[in-house]
Structure 1
């Protein structure tokens, strides 16, 4: 995924009210940027750190910028939660994820039961439903999800379990927007209910694919699949 317009460099002053952040640009001016991440952003906030913003496409939008990434430990961490679905969609279409290759038809936002599953992929042999989650939380070498309690995430797991019971391929795809981690695990201490549900889903045949991406001010690209441990 490439950024359509050049990003704007600045420094984080603070994040507040979940969806707002004050940013000091290189010219010294202070702007308010929209933060798409509604979670706690645990391990992703460092006041004074370098950030990049994208200009809003709609000139009438109250916040003229969107916060895209922050530099932590000399590496860029993507915090825009609207990107992982597009990253996954493009990667599945062009065969960048080994376990999800070979699908001729790939569609976003497909209604299943009482939910919308992020991606449906099909070929002449099977249909596969893929739910995509954004991961930014770091704990040592571990990338963990979620960083706040997610009842919606649990609902999506239930939908995937039902699909698997019906004989349909079901996948949890975690897009990890930071390169300073080497293994994925659920955040047991933050949301034990989700962690247990993920373990149960895996036992019932729902696949888990954690994909680390490389975030730069020009683009976000697939890096590699990471191993996972559901017990730690």
Structure 2
């Protein structure tokens, strides 16, 4: 995914009210940026760190910038939770995710029951629903999800099990927006119920795919799959 506009560089002053962040731009101007990440952002939040913002030209929006990434440990971490959905759609469309196969139809935001999945794909042989999650939490070599309790995440796993039960392919796709991790695992200490739900989903045929992304101010690209420890 290539950014359509040149990102604007600054330094994080603070994040507050979950969805807002004060940022000092290089010229000294202080602006308010929208933070799409509603989680704790543990391990990717550091006041004074370099950040990049996307300018937003929308008269209806109060904030004129969207916070895209932050530099942690000399590397960029993507914190925009909308990016993984774009990455997943593009990668599945272009057959760039190992094991997901070649699909002739790929759509975003498709309903199943009372849920809406991020990607739906099909070919002559199968139909596949894919739920996408953004991962930024790091602990040692591990990328962990979630960074806060998520009942919505549990609901998605239950619906994926129903998809599988009805004879279709069900995939839980985690996009890790940082490079300094080696293995993916559920964050059992933060949300043990989600971890248990993920284990149950896998036991019932839901596939777990984890892809790592390389974050740069010019573009964000998927690089390689990560091993999974459930």
Q: Give the TM-score range, shorter chain.
A: over 0.9
> What's the offset of the Cα at 1:3?
0.5
CA distance in 2, matches of 1:35, 1:195: 26
The residue that corresponds to 2:65 in the other structure is 65
Structure 1: gaps (5+ residues): none
> What's the offset of the Cα at 1:18?
0.2
CA distance in 2, matches of 1:183, 1:59: 42
1:2 aligns with 2:2: yes
1:209 aligns with 2:209: yes
1:174-216 superposed Cα distances (whole Å, 9 cap, x missing partner): 0000000010000001100000000000011100000000000
Matched residue SS, 2:201: helix
Structure 2: gaps (5+ residues): none
1:9-66 superposed Cα distances (whole Å, 9 cap, x missing partner): 0000000000000000000110000000011111110000000000013134210100
Matched residue SS, 2:99: helix
1:122-161 superposed Cα distances (whole Å, 9 cap, x missing partner): 0011001000000000000100000000000000000000
The residue that corresponds to 1:141 in the other structure is 141
The residue that corresponds to 2:194 in the other structure is 194
1:61-83 superposed Cα distances (whole Å, 9 cap, x missing partner): 21010000000000000000011
Give me the CA root mean square deviation: 0.7
The residue that corresponds to 1:39 in the other structure is 39
> What's the offset of the Cα at 1:94?
0.7
The residue that corresponds to 2:128 in the other structure is 128
The residue that corresponds to 1:177 in the other structure is 177
CA distance in 1, matches of 2:21, 2:101: 38
> What's the offset of the Cα at 1:101?
2.5
